[in-house]
């Protein structure tokens, strides 16, 4: 007898994870694989974070915390908004989560019902679309393109029947940003139309010109952030949200039942993450050097960049001169050169057939070697 399987797992894979698996296999020629596929800092967590974790292992029993997170960490996150943006955030509106992934799940569950329509960008972070789909919420592609740097605008949502909009600035996979005025205008338009705005801010702190702006404190908006990218803590699985008053208790009840609490060891360690600015600034300097190397080298190798990477650590490149199948193209590139990159279909099912994302979060030596290999391959 065939046992029943539920339909919720019938969603596209997160393709970058498949690329990571393929790139982890040893090459036949013994050459090193150059990892430009994954959006993960190659640096460890800051030294003080590791030391705080070591102390907690010895001094703390590391049991459950309350579902919303350690009170002292919520207070420290609220202080971060005052120090970084000059924005007042009540610690009572801060929720610590199991990575930004847990934050998206909780935010969507608390904000939307099955059958609701939420605007997302294409290209955009694929897990957002997939989580919405699993929850029975329709992910509606917003009409972004290179002319808008793949970012939504306040006028863009006119005429669209939407219950929510998800925006990311800096964005994955493009690295593009929305200026403060544009973000405020979008938030105002959403509020006027009763649309819940969800702002993905996990790449805040990784910008190369103007700093990113937050929607924290804007009436009705949800802010999602993470310790993964800026603080080099991907495997610690810790994120946070800033919620409007009406969602705090619903999210708390959901978190109690779905997660019990975020990882207590990670929370103890993260208490000092905001105070590691010297190491974080050094990481940003390296990303800036890598950005310069790849930003010059990719076009020289025949990979035009579709928009400037103002933040995060990605370039989104056009490969339409060579292929209409970015998955096969990336497989061939990995086999021929040992350079691993992510096919654009992970971020945009249609337009992504002609694009590839390159991450410059690795070492500077990796960027130099990758450019040399790609130039030799495409010459």
Q: What is the pLDDT of residues 124-135, one digit of tens each?
A: 999 999 999 999
Q: What is the dihedral of CA 334, 285, 319, 132, to 10 degrees?
A: 90
Question: Which H/E stretch holds residue 189?
Answer: helix 180-192
| The two three-digit tokens of residue 309, written as one number | 């990477």
Under DSSP, the state recorded for 208 is: S
Arithmetic mean of pLDDT, 273-287: 97
pLDDT band at 278 (very low <50, low <70, confident <90, very high): very high
Arithmetic mean of pLDDT, 16-35: 71
Domain ranges of the chain: 7-44+277-378, 61-275
Nearest in space to 33 (alpha carbons), one of 45, 25, 44: 25
Contacts of 317 (CB under 8 A, 6+ apart): 298, 303, 304, 305, 306, 355, 356, 357, 358
pLDDT band at 28 (very low <50, low <70, confident <90, very high): low
Q: What pTM does this model have? A: 0.94
| The two three-digit tokens of residue 307, written as one number | 């928009």
Q: Does domain 61-275 have CATH number 3.40.640.10?
A: yes
Nearest in space to 140 (alpha carbons), one of 98, 78, 195: 195
Domain pair 7-44+277-378 / 61-275, same fold: yes
Contacts of 330 (CB under 8 A, 6+ apart): 19, 37, 340, 341, 342, 343, 356
Burial class (CB in 10 A: 0-12, 13-18, 19+), 184: middle
Query: HSE-up of 301 (CA within 13 Å, CB side)?
Result: 25
d(CA 171, CA 204): 10
pLDDT > 80? residue 344: yes
| The two three-digit tokens of residue 180, written as one number | 């403060």
Strand partners, 254: none
Q: Are 97 and 240 in contact (CB under 8 A)?
A: yes
Residue-wise pLDDT for 137-180, tens only, equals 999 999 999 999 999 999 999 889 999 999 999 999 999 999 99
Under DSSP, the state recorded for 305 is: B
| The two three-digit tokens of residue 101, written as one number | 């992934």
* CATH class of domain segment(s) 7-44+277-378: alpha beta
Averaged confidence pLDDT in the chain: 94
Nearest in space to 322 (alpha carbons), one of 308, 332, 309: 332
pLDDT > 70? residue 45: yes
């Amino acid at each position: 007898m065939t046992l029943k399987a539920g339909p919720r797992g019938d969603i596209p894979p997160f393709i970058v994870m498949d690329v990571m698996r393929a790139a982890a296999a040893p090459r036949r020629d013994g050459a090193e694989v150059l990892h430009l596929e994954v959006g993960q800092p190659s640096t460890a967590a800051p030294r003080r974070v590791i030391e705080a974790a070591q102390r907690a292992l010895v001094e703390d029993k590391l049991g459950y915390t309350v579902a919303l997170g350690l009170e002292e960490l919520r207070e420290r996150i609220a202080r971060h908004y005052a120090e970084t943006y000059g924005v007042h955030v009540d610690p009572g509106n801060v929720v610590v989560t199991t990575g930004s992934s847990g934050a998206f799940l909780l935010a969507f569950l608390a904000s939307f019902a099955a059958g609701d329509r939420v605007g997302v960008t294409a290209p955009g972070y694929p897990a957002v679309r997939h989580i919405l789909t699993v929850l029975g919420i329709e992910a509606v592609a917003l009409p972004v393109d290179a002319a808008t740097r793949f970012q939504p605008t306040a006028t863009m949502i006119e005429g669209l029947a939407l219950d929510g909009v998800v925006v990311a600035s800096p964005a994955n996979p493009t690295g593009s940003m929305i200026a403060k005025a544009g973000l405020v205008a979008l938030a105002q338009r959403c509020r006027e139309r009763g649309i819940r705005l969800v702002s993905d801010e996990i790449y805040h702190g990784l910008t190369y010109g103007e700093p990113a702006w937050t929607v924290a404190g804007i009436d009705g908006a949800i802010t999602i952030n993470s310790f993964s990218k800026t603080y080099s803590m991907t495997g610690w699985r810790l994120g946070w949200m800033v919620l409007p008053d009406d969602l705090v208790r619903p999210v708390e009840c959901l978190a109690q039942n779905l997660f019990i609490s975020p990882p207590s060891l990670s929370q103890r360690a993260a208490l000092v993450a905001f105070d590691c600015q010297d190491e974080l600034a050094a990481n940003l300097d390296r990303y800036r050097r890598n950005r310069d190397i790849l930003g010059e080298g990719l076009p020289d190798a025949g990979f035009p960049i579709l928009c400037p990477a103002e933040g995060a650590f990605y370039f989104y490149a056009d490969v339409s001169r060579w292929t209409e199948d970015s998955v096969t193209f990336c497989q061939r590139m990995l086999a021929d050169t040992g350079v691993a990159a992510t096919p654009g279909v992970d971020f945009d099912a249609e337009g992504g057939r002609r694009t590839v994302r390159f991450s410059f979060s690795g070492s500077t030596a990796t960027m130099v070697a990758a450019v040399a290999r790609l130039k030799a391959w495409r010459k």
